[in-house]
Structure 1
Amino acid sequence: MVIPKIAQDDQADYEGELTIVIGKDAKDVSQENALDYVAVYTVGNDISSRKLQRDPEHAGRIPQWGFSKGFDTYAPIGPCLLASSLVDDPKNLHLTTVVDGEVRQDESVDDLLFECRYLISYLSQGTTLEKGSMIMTGTSGGVGGDMKPPRWLQLGTQMEVRISKIGTLRNGVVFAE
């Protein structure tokens, strides 16, 4: 992952997340039927530039998420796509994030802030989630910005995000020149 110059000043962060790929157009989906719209699951690493997301000096008066998470190479996914038919319920999957050999996240997907069914249902209200749309599920914590003191991504940082049944996404950090 390449951290752009604008985000190299103690703010680049990570979040290991389950990523959902929608398999058919979904609009106004009920929570009860939400998983019927999932084609595959994969592993995601939601990279964020926290100052550009939250600090009024950098983000403006209102926190925002688009610009701070949308840089080239942010949000890598992989290592493979796991068919939804092979997952009884995604909340039973286990997520582990390791940064430079240190376990930072170690939790069940059920511990995440929003359950997969809820996310699909909520995001499809009034908006069509087109086939191929991806949803990163969020995290319940364990990210560098939550540590005391914060531990931001640095040049050379090595990360692994593992989700049971899917595999391990590996990324290193480089800084743009």
Structure 2
Amino acid sequence: MNRRVDGHALGRFDDGAGPFTGLVVGDRVLRLVDDGLVKGPATYLQLLEHWAEVTPRLAALAAEATSTDGIPVADLRTLAPVEPRQVFQAGANYRSHVAQIIVSGAGPDDPRSEDELRRHADEVMDETARSGSPFIFVSLPSAVCGPDDDVVLPRDAAQVDWEAELAVVIGRRAHKVAREQAMDHVAGFTVCNDISARDLQFPPQHKALGGDWLRAKSRPTFLPTGPYLVPADQVGDHRNLRITFDLGGERKQDDVPANMLFDVPAVIASVSAAAVLLPGDLLLTGSPAGNGGHWKRWLQPGDVMETAIEGLGAQRNRCVAEEG
């Protein structure tokens, strides 16, 4: 897979001797050395803890790099670019996705036509965007895996789904941040695929208590992430970045963040009103229409998923059955 970047990006790699953090310039990786950009180890969290100082130094390193510096990306294993302490997610945050949920959820005795249901969905979403707030939940950092890693399908789930998402990486502590200042706390963006076991998400015995987010969304390998953390100053208008998801070469999702009900600043403000966002934390912003439920298609062993966001890169993950 072509992992060339325009400008520069931050990543984590393994050269066979162990993981390291690197600066990606074009299609080559410059290993970041200890006591270089920051005092001590050049780890992901150390860099993000000092992101304001690190950002211009990364740009300077990239500007000085020649076409032969570093190691070819193709010669390395690309790991997840982030090691977050916290992972927050926004659910049902794309107009196309919410419309599909409302239309497909209509009962068999509902007399409304599909056009009438879609008009109703538009009215619901307009009111939600005007007077509501994002739906936010938390998942475990241990679900994160790399952009080329296998995704393990659990034995106890038969309806495992995909969700391509734009993810925000926090670069500055944020608590009770106003929407107008929210983007000042963003280090950059990456690509995520929020894998979900739908048949475990709302178990009948716990219906009164809501969704079982742990069993449904926090399994190991259920959050393919990367390939890179692209700094915010290397991204144009994030609202226009095209998000796509292909399953076995067939396009299933295709949208842009401009169609979110609650945009990135609103999501950051909402999360920070209730929790403290820390440097390096990951914030997923929702998924467009086109999930497995819509297509009546669930992930199976042998499936190959390709999740991509324009300007941020692509990931390719194979689905495998859980052993044992």
The reply to whether TM is greater than 0.5 is yes
Counterpart of 1:166 (choices 287, 294, 312) is 312
Q: TM-score, normalised by structure 2?
A: 0.51
Change (3 A) 1:31 1:88: farther
Structure 1 residue 31, shift from structure 2 partner: 1.1
The residue number in structure 2 matching 1:22 is 170
Question: Residue 124 of structure 1 aligns to a residue in which SS?
Answer: helix
CA distance in 2, matches of 1:34, 1:89: 15
Q: Which has the higher contact order (CA 8 A, sep 6+)?
A: 1
CA distance in 1, matches of 2:276, 2:318: 34
Q: Deviations over 1:13-65 (max 9, x none)?
A: 000001111011100111111111111211000000001112425x5432232
The residue number in structure 2 matching 1:3 is 153
The 5-angstrom pairing of residues 144-159 of structure 1 reads 144-147=292-295, 150-159=296-305
Mapped pair 1:46 → 2:194: yes
Q: What percent of counterpart residues are identical?
A: 40
**Residues 113 and 140, structure 1, Cα contact 8 Å, conserved in 2:** no
Q: When you count strand as a share of all residues, which structure comes out higher?
A: 1
Unpaired stretches in structure 1, ≥5 consecutive residues? none
CA distance in 1, matches of 2:166, 2:270: 17
Aligned residues: 172
Q: TM-score, normalised by structure 1?
A: 0.91
Mapped pair 1:90 → 2:238: yes
**Residues 203 and 212, structure 2, Cα contact 8 Å, conserved in 1:** no
The residue number in structure 2 matching 1:106 is 254
**Residues 304 and 317, structure 2, Cα contact 8 Å, conserved in 1:** yes
CA distance in 2, matches of 1:41, 1:24: 14
The residue number in structure 1 matching 2:222 is 74
Counterpart of 1:142 (choices 290, 297, 307) is 290
**Residues 164 and 288, structure 2, Cα contact 8 Å, conserved in 1:** no
Task: Please report the RMSD computed on the Cα atoms of aligned residues, expressed in angstroms.
Answer: 1.4
Read off the aligned partner of 2:293 and give its amino acid letter. G
Read off the aligned partner of 1:5 and give its amino acid letter. R
CA distance in 2, matches of 1:21, 1:56: 35
CA distance in 2, matches of 1:42, 1:112: 17
**Residues 163 and 288, structure 2, Cα contact 8 Å, conserved in 1:** no
CA distance in 1, matches of 2:258, 2:202: 26
Runs (4+) of structure 1 exceeding 3 A deviation are none
Q: Deviations over 1:93-152 (max 9, x none)?
A: 1101101111011111212343111111100003110111101111131111122xx100
**Residues 26 and 129, structure 1, Cα contact 8 Å, conserved in 2:** yes
Mapped pair 1:126 → 2:304: no
Change (3 A) 1:122 1:159: same
**Residues 113 and 139, structure 1, Cα contact 8 Å, conserved in 2:** no
CA distance in 2, matches of 1:64, 1:86: 37
CA distance in 2, matches of 1:35, 1:17: 18
Structure 1 residue 91, shift from structure 2 partner: 1.0
